[in-house]
Homo-oligomer: A and B are copies of this chain.
Amino acid sequence: MLTQSDLAISKLGEPRHDSPLVFDDVRTRFLSDSSRVLHEIDYCDGDDIVPLGFERAGARRRVFFDASKSKAAIVTCGGLCPGLNNVVRNLYYHLHSCYGVPSILGIRFGYSGLNPKEGFPPIELTPESVEHIHHQGGTILGTSRGPQEPKVMIDFLVEQGVNMLFCIGGDGTQKGAHALAEEVRKRGLEIAIVGIPKTIDNDIQYCYRSFGFVTAVSEAEKVIDCAHVEAKSVPGGIGLVKLMGREAGFIAAAATIASGEVNFALIPEVPFELEGKHGLLGKLERRLAARNHAVIVVAEGAGQHLLNRHGEEFDKSGNRKLSDIGMFLKEQITRHFGAKHQPASVKYFDPSYNIRSVPADAADSLLCEQLARNAVHAAMCGKTDMFVGSWHNHTVHVPLPISVGQIKRIDPESEMWTTVLAITGQDKW
């Protein structure tokens, strides 16, 4: 059970400068640190409402750092996600044009670029180098997976004179950011570590919608359209689409609802069986008998228990297959209908890289801007060990300790999942 103190945000110190925002001639609604956004907002008549809330993100009248003497660094980590370049571009512009920070470094290839031994020196960002990047997918900084030693990274930041680090990445990256903040605290340094959560799977806690998610759903919907076309083109046609979602099936569920062409959606949160009365194969048989084609969407993390169960017979074919639910389903379905001499033609789609490497759409561009801008405000105020989250359509400050290691999943009783059931017509498993 969260308390208000769990939601308190760490600060490097008290503010000591006036904010030199270029638009301060407008009566910007500067916020105070006591501004909150309620954690829970649905209730029943008669309930007491507990005033537990996140700190609201936004510009503060007084900031911690002297922008003119500051140096910021930006690092992008983990898998690609639409919008990374928008975040980099907006961080740059808000730091450079609004606050006047003279130097902003782009760290190359994720945290490995903070370890000099890896041999990837940072690049100095310029207006020209970021001007067009929001029209490109990927990240101009490059990325990598895996941690680096916090000591080494902080040594590097100190050596470079960096006092604000923006860590764009998923749960692992935010864990790394937390370790960096701890190291900063231990040494008594004045370096703000501010995260921007990035998860194409949309599975980070306290981040209602992560950037890139909507673009990914759009791209997934296009692939489902193709699968639908393929499925309808032959008797017994089955379009099988594997989508991203290791721990959480948000992309699969949202693309299913958006497309309206899916008959079976399989996600990690809802186990399913292949055989038996409620098994996928029997359901698929009944669907083909009725309509002669079917579309299946499967999140990559779904049905892992089935893979393990069939493990032995599959070991001979190599380990790689074991973890691939898409190929596994393709084979099981083909085998099942082959044994029954029923026509079934599985067309398999595995579009993950295509989905994650496109530029952000307008909805995600707006979100990226919002997160980047507020991350700059937070860092300038000396906030640290936190990320900028999105909560009930407000941007908020989330302490890293309460988010990292948590995973947001689809509740099988939620509106989202019951909607998937209603739209696909698939029963409870």
Contacts and interface: CB of A to CB of B under 8 A. Distances in A.
A53 B43 contact: yes
A38 interface: yes
Contact of A234 (B23, B28, B137, B142): B142
A230 interface: yes
Interface string A158-174: 00000000000000000
A189 to B, nearest CB: 29
Given A41-B392, A423-B93, A366 B226 contact: no
Interface in A15-48: 21-23, 25-29, 32, 34-38, 41-48
Contacts of A25: 427-428
Given A138-B230, A143-B233, A260 B89 contact: yes
Interface in A139-192: 139, 142-144
Interface stretch (A63-71, A196-204, A354-362): A354-362
Interface in A288-337: 316-318
B34 A45 contact: yes
Given A38-B41, A38-B42, A428-B25, A80 B229 contact: yes
Given A44-B34, A393-B208, A361 B218 contact: yes
B42 A258 contact: no
A255 B413 contact: no
Contacts of A357: 225-227, 229-230, 233
Contacts of A363: 214, 217-218, 361, 363
A62 interface: no
Interface stretch (A279-287, A345-353, A381-389, A399-407): A345-353
Given A26-B413, A363-B218, A225 B137 contact: yes
A35 B41 contact: no
A422 B260 contact: no
B217 A362 contact: yes
B354 A223 contact: yes
A60 interface: no
B42 A35 contact: yes
A56 interface: yes
Given A34-B44, A97-B425, A135-B136, 11 more contacts: A23-B428, A32-B44, A41-B394, A49-B51, A59-B418, A223-B354, A349-B353, A369-B419, A369-B423, A373-B422, A392-B393
